[in-house]
Amino acid sequence: MSPDVPEIPQATAKPAPTYWLTRFVILRWLGFVYLVAFLVAVNQIVPLIGEHGLTPAPLFTERVAAHFGSKWSAFLQLPSVFWAGASDASMLAVSWLGVALSLAVLLGYANAIIMFVLWALYMSLVNIGQDWYGYGWEMQLLETGFLAIFLCPLFDGRPFPRRPPPAAVFWLFRWLIFRIMLGAGLIKLRGDSCWRDLTCLYYYYETQPIPNPFSRLCHFQPHWFQKFGVLWNFFVELVVPWFVFAPGGWRRAAGFFLFTFQLFLIFSGNLSFLNWLTIVPILACFDDVLLARLLPKSWGERARRAAAEAQPSRAQNRIAIGLAVLVGFLSILPVANLISSSQVMNTSFNRLQLVNTYGAFGSVGRERLDIVFEGTDDPVPSESTKWREYQTKGQPVSLTRRPPFVAPYQLRLDWQLWFAAMSAPEEYPWTLHFVWKLLHNDEPALSLLASNPFPQKPPRYIRAVLYHYEFAPPGNPEGAWWKRTPLRLWLPALSADDPRLHSFLAAYGWTDKS
């Protein structure tokens, strides 16, 4: 080329995005969610499903084994380490081991073995947890935790190991968040008419399972704000998920909208660890270039050094591709459910709950119903009896008590009471067992409540009253958070020597000692 003619610069290929920091953040965040989930088990597993719990796991495993013919057959249907024995000691041992391992992951040490053990331990709890563990986020944690196993080297647990993060696994995380969000949007679009007429948020903040103080603030916003909230919900759940598969800036923008949407849900209510968990696959939308600007510089330097010293593994890549093929095959039924006009939400189509279908609040209650348990010392209840209320930790009872901040922690008794209030006692037989526990001042059962109005000796009678609760307007003269109207007795007054109660307990195998 003539020296008088300037050279034309050659186009250079844009370097592929890297995900060393992304893997680091995903694992730490997931470690935090696991930590919360196992701490919930440490504190609540014994009173809920312990040997003398409200729905004892030993009775459950015995009946399931009898149904399938043997413990081995039952194990194949509901894999759990507790088929070897569901004692209080074993359940607490599994829960504490989960706490220790998840804390190690949170602090920076994670390999495939640790992540596999966490996944197996939590599945063991879920599969014997009965109604107390029957929530969509339990299977979502199992699916998320299973994918995370394949982000890590087999043995090397350092925060920035030499094995690069497999790209295929990040695509699977994006596939997961796509299904979570689209499932949530479609179930609303096909479900309650209030979503289609944009009025569901008139009620949602008040009627959700466990409101927090900001829920009342959101509830009293003007109707135009609530309608905009529904439209924004549909945008984030039905439009944005498609862009998690897009390149570069589009994918990051999708991640931003999804992430901030979860933050608002965290702000506006106590939805257990659901929203914290949903953030995990959202993080797969962000690469090292973006995260290096947001995280401490030392982390970025460590990620760059690890990338420079990377030792790719063909075996790891083949395993990741095999995982993608497996997830693709297991996605057939969840996708069929997504596109079905009879879509169901929060359902697993395989025994290990590896690829599931999700959804949330397909219907929204128009009024808040709550069950309040009450006791008395009177020898015989009468019209003049003064009943003392048992305060729950999350459900509204006292009108002046501020709603709590508890998420990501889950109050499992409170959640089940929320469901029970919309049904009859026959649908929630454990409530009669709960009454029995209260009639005997059972310490494990009382640990699930905020207070015991009978600290010296048990009450003679317990009843349950159904109330209609509403938020009291901010700034009211009484300083009340709630106002309420009694509707009816949900359970009649029962005593410890009531033959009806004894007969009921015996029918379920809940003897007097349970």
pLDDT digits 0-9 by tens, 176-191:
999 999 999 999 999 9
Three-state SS for 345-397 is CCEECCCCCCCEECCCCCCCCCCEEEEEEEEECCCCCCCCCCCEECCECCCCC
CB 449 within 8 A of CB 417: no
What's the pLDDT score for residue 359? 92
Token pair in block for residue 454: 């009978």
**What is the DSSP code string of 180-215?**
HHHHHHHHHHHS-HHHHTT-GGGTHHHHSSS--HHH
Token pair in block for residue 283: 């993080």
CB 58 within 8 A of CB 510: no
Phi, psi of 448 (to 5 degrees): -80, -10
Q: What is the mean pLDDT of the chain?
A: 94
Helix axis angle for 274-282 and 167-190, nearest 10°, is: 130
pLDDT digits 0-9 by tens, 154-175:
999 999 998 999 999 999 999 9
Sorting pLDDT into bands at 50, 70 and 90, what band is 317? confident
CB 164 within 8 A of CB 123: no
Question: Is residue 281 pLDDT above 50, yes or no?
Answer: yes
What's the pLDDT score for residue 1? 47
d(CA 221, CA 268): 12
Rounded to 10 degrees, the C-alpha dihedral 49/55/57/61 comes to -160
Q: What is the largest CA-CA distance in the chain?
A: 111
Percent of the chain with pLDDT over 90: 92
Span 454-479, mean pLDDT?
96
What's the pLDDT score for residue 8? 55
Percent of the chain with pLDDT over 70: 97
Token pair in block for residue 57: 């796991």
Question: What single letter denotes the amino acid at residue 86?
Answer: A
Rounded to 10 degrees, the C-alpha dihedral 225/228/230/236 comes to -130
Give residues with Cβ within 8 angstroms of 271, minimum separation 6. 208, 209, 265, 407
